[in-house]
């Protein structure tokens, strides 16, 4: 079926309390009125029905234009599940095996070394290099156990090397990114520790190398066009730029200056880890494909078993997986191929079901899929410093509304 965001379907018919959903609307609106966030879009779908769709606040702090269900958001790392699906499409076609070493396709990443922090003769930390005991695989990239890291989050000597070698530059191609990554040490031995990283950007480079086309073309041809994701891409055409959601210039609580991606022109760097823009309706179509076991409205993207495989925990046999500087999936969660995956009913900070899976974006976006409840929930805002709070708040409010 096709979801109509103007539908008057009763929430009760989808198993939700109308009064609880109204309370959720009031709670978020109160934060908007208090100046905590500019606005937000919320969608909940359950049992093939759109149970809830709200656009609250303003699309931009500098405009009186109201937020719309049609507003376009920078979804940052919610790009990662999309690119992970693209990789698994190539696996289903026989173009790669996820057990393959990455260097089979990107030889620049062969014979990498691992950076280990030691104490120098002067008593100060020093970076020593040791050989990687095994090569990173495509599975390692998908589950963030490649040994790669991000230079922009946290502090370490390896992250300092990323900064010194401009690994995080926005004016490079995927090919140049791979070349720069080859010049810096890994943060961990491949296949050992979960570390949020440039792994999915490398998957984007891998897609380009194998397919022979740029990442934007591949994703449009094989995912966006077939699924009818008409507003999803790496930039917003001029005619649609009036729909771009914006953040406060300064975060109202921390006072930190907020700088988001410039999405008003085609970027040189097609970031598979964080470059896409999308709308609530578009991302709902992607999420519905996942919940529907790889198919939507007669379009086959991947198989049922591939979705089951991706949404299963892939860290359970790695004893050091959660020992890194920051395990972002959080308590109660493992990690699959592109998603955090819930392992237990308890342990986590929020309600959920065993087997639910999710990911979020730096700009303040979040989604999850709960197969047990046959439910999808999407939260979109542009408020980076508030992202952790609203991920938990929204999840609490959604489950509180279930009948």
Q: Confidence band (pLDDT; 50, 70, 90) for 92?
A: very high
* pLDDT tens-digit map of 180-197: 999 999 999 999 999 999
Average pLDDT over residues 262-272: 97
Query: What phi-psi label fits residue 153: left (phi over 0), alpha (psi between -120 and 50 degrees) or beta?
Result: beta
Residue 62, burial from CB neighbour count under 10 angstroms (0-12, 13-18, 19+)? exposed
Residue 151's pLDDT is: 86
Average pLDDT over residues 201-227: 98
According to DSSP, the β-strands at 49-57 and 39-46 are antiparallel
* pLDDT tens-digit map of 156-177: 999 999 999 999 898 999 999 9
CA distance 68 to 313: 36
CA distance 66 to 88: 38
Q: Model pTM?
A: 0.96
According to DSSP, the β-strands at 333-335 and 357-361 are unpaired
Residue 8's pLDDT is: 56
Average pLDDT over residues 331-343: 97
Beta bridge partners of 42: 54, 379
CA distances from 341 to 71, 288, 310, 331, 382 (A): 29, 17, 9, 11, 25
Residue 2's pLDDT is: 46
- CATH H superfamily, domain 86-211: DD-peptidase/beta-lactamase superfamily (3.40.710.10)
Query: Is a pLDDT exceeding 90 seen at residue 60?
Result: yes
CA distance 164 to 186: 14
Average pLDDT over residues 50-63: 96
Farthest-apart Cα atoms in the chain, separation: 71
Percent of the chain with pLDDT over 90: 91
3-state helix, strand, coil in the chain (%, to 5): 35, 20, 50
CA distance 64 to 5: 22
Average pLDDT over residues 207-233: 98
Query: Is a pLDDT exceeding 90 seen at residue 143?
Result: yes
CA distance 301 to 295: 6
Query: Is a pLDDT exceeding 70 seen at residue 4?
Result: no
Domain boundaries, the chain: 11-77+213-400, 86-211
Range 30-34 contact pairs with CB under 8 angstroms and sequence separation of 24 or more? 32/56, 32/57, 32/58
CA distances from 168 to 150, 163, 267, 394 (A): 8, 7, 14, 31
Number of H helices, E strands in the chain: 11, 13
Query: Three-state DSSP class for 179?
Result: helix
Query: Is a pLDDT exceeding 80 seen at residue 223?
Result: yes
Alpha-carbon torsion (337, 339, 341, 347), positive or negative:
positive
1 close to 347: Cβ distance less than 8 angstroms: no
Residue labelled with tokens 């779908």: 45
Q: Confidence band (pLDDT; 50, 70, 90) for 6?
A: low
Nearest Cα to Cα of residue 125 among 173, 158, 147: 158
Q: Do domains 11-77+213-400 and 86-211 have the same CATH topology?
A: yes
Residue 3's pLDDT is: 53
CA distance 213 to 138: 19
CA distance 49 to 375: 9
- 11-77+213-400 to CATH, choices 3.40.190.10, 3.40.710.10, 3.30.43.10, 3.40.50.2000: 3.40.710.10
CA distance 321 to 314: 10
Residue 365's pLDDT is: 98
Residue 1's pLDDT is: 38
CA distance 356 to 342: 5
Using CA atoms in the order 340, 288, 310, 106, what is the torsion angle rounded to 10 degrees? -100
CA distance 399 to 351: 7
């Amino acid at each position: 079926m096709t979801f109509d965001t103007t539908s008057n379907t009763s929430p009760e018919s989808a198993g939700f309390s109308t009064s609880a959903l109204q309370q959720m609307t009031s709670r978020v609106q109160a934060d908007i009125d208090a100046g905590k966030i500019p606005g937000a879009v919320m969608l909940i779908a359950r049992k093939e029905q759109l149970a809830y769709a709200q656009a609250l606040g303003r699309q931009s702090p500098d405009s009186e234009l109201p937020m719309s269900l049609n507003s376009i958001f920078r979804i940052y790392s919610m790009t990662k599940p999309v690119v992970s699906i693209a990789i698994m499409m190539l696996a289903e076609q026989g173009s790669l095996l996820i057990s393959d070493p990455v260097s089979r396709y990107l030889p620049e990443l062969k014979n990498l070394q691992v950076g280990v922090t030691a104490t120098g003769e002067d008593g100060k930390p020093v970076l020593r290099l040791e050989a990687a005991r095994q090569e990173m695989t495509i599975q390692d990239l998908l589950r963030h156990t490649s040994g790669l890291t991000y230079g922009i989050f946290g502090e370490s000597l390896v992250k300092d090397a990323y900064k010194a070698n401009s690994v995080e530059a926005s004016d490079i191609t995927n090919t140049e990114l791979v070349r720069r990554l080859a010049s810096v040490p890994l943060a961990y031995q491949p296949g050992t520790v979960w570390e949020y990283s440039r792994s999915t950007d490398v998957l984007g480079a891998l897609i380009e190398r194998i397919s022979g086309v740029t990442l934007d073309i591949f994703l449009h041809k094989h995912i966006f066009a077939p699924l009818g994701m008409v507003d999803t891409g790496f930039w917003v055409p001029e005619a649609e730029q009036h729909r771009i959601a914006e953040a406060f210039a300064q975060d109202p609580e921390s006072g930190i200056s907020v700088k988001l991606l410039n999405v008003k022109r085609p970027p040189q760097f097609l970031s598979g880890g964080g470059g896409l823009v999308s709308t609530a309706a578009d991302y709902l179509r992607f999420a519905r494909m996942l919940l529907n076991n790889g198919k939507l409205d007669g379009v086959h993207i991947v198989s049922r078993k591939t979705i089951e495989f991706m949404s299963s925990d892939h860290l359970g046999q790695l004893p050091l997986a959660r020992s890194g500087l920051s395990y972002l999936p959080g308590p109660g969660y493992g990690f699959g191929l592109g998603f955090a995956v819930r392992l237990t009913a308890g342990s986590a900070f929020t309600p959920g079901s065993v087997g639910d899976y999710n990911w979020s974006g730096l700009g303040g976006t979040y989604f999850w899929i709960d197969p047990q409840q046959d439910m999808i929930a999407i939260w979109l805002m542009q408020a980076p410093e508030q992202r952790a709070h609203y991920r938990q708040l929204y999840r609490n409010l959604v489950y509180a509304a279930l009948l």
